[in-house]
Amino acid sequence: MSLHTKLDTGEMVQFVELLHESLKVRSHFEFLLWSQGNLQQFLPHDIMIAAWGDFSLGLVYFDIVSAIPGIRTGQVHNTNLTPLLKRLFSSWNTHSRAPFTLTMNQGIFEDREFEHDKLDGNFKHMRSAMVHAIKDVRGRHDCLYVLMSSSTTLPPTSRSMLEALLPYIDSSLRQLDHLPEQMPPQPVEEPVFADEDLGSLSTRELEIMEWVRNGKTNFEIGMILDISAFTVKNHLQRIFRKLDVVNRAQAVAKLSKLELNESL
């Protein structure tokens, strides 16, 4: 059944207005007002968690949107929330990347699965959640959205509504600046040596090439190694000169060939 058959004429008008309102969001406060306003009619929830990054590596950042006092992005430590977000993202992948719902009796907030005591008490009052994500193939930063509710009863249209509205939620948040607490710590810059010695690759250069093989961007490699993307770029330029290649693909191929010859 398509979405429009589940809404009457008045609801369709409100639904379209909601979409247009999302395009006007320009600040975190405006997003809070929008999410706590007309969005509640179609996606009722108490806490929204928007998370992005590399879930396989645990490099996850998040934004918490809620009118509940004490539930703010800067008041929840990353290491306390990341295990739950990684588990939910994995579940989304196993659910054919389709929206799904969870309730308390399915163990979403069981102490044995999630360290309850490390979060604000208001999280313990949540009894259900709607979960969906967006696979960012080009940017390689997947986005997970978790809408938590203190109610155990979710509207029957929850999944279809979340699927229809998530692109607008995601687009609105992508237009907002990061909050100070969402910014990664300033990476430690590594010295990049001059070109007089173009011998074998250093341990760091081999480490960078291993992540290049895994398809990571300069920004992602910098996050993993705690150095800046600019430093990664400088290392790669040095690697290219050492291997006498001009791009990443050639560098991977040349290094693989050298490793094969060395193993013979």
Instruction: Say whether 203-263 and 3-180 share the same fold.
Output: no
Query: Furthest-apart CA pair in the chain: how many Å?
Result: 73
Do residues 25 and 31 make contact, with C-beta atoms less than 8 angstroms apart?
yes
Write out the two tokens for 48.
């929204």
Cα–Cα nearest to 67, from 51, 47, 49, 50: 47
Q: Token pair 């739950």 is at which residue?
A: 84
Please tell me the total number of residues recorded for the chain in this structure: 264
Homologous superfamily of 3-180 in CATH? Transcription factor LuxR-like, autoinducer-binding domain (3.30.450.80)
> For a pLDDT cut of 70, what percent of the chain falls above it?
81
What are 104-161's pLDDT values in tens digits? Answer: 765 555 544 444 444 556 777 888 999 999 988 776 678 999 999 999 888 889 999 9
DSSP, collapsed to helix, strand or coil, labels residue 94 as: helix
Amino acid at 171: S
Confidence (pLDDT) at 182:
67
Domain layout of the chain by residue ranges: 3-180, 203-263
**Cβ density class 165-198: b for 16+ within 10 Å, e for less:** bbebbbebbeeeeeeeeeeeeebeeeeeeeeeee
209 neighbors 245 (Cβ within 8 angstroms): no
Q: Is the pLDDT of residue 245 over 90?
A: no
What type of residue is 245? V
Q: In what order do the strands lie in the sheet with 100-103?
A: 59-66, 47-54, 142-149, 128-134, 100-103
Retrieve residue 155's tokens: 């509207």
Query: What CATH number labels 203-263?
Result: 1.10.10.10
Q: Which amino acid is at 129?
A: A
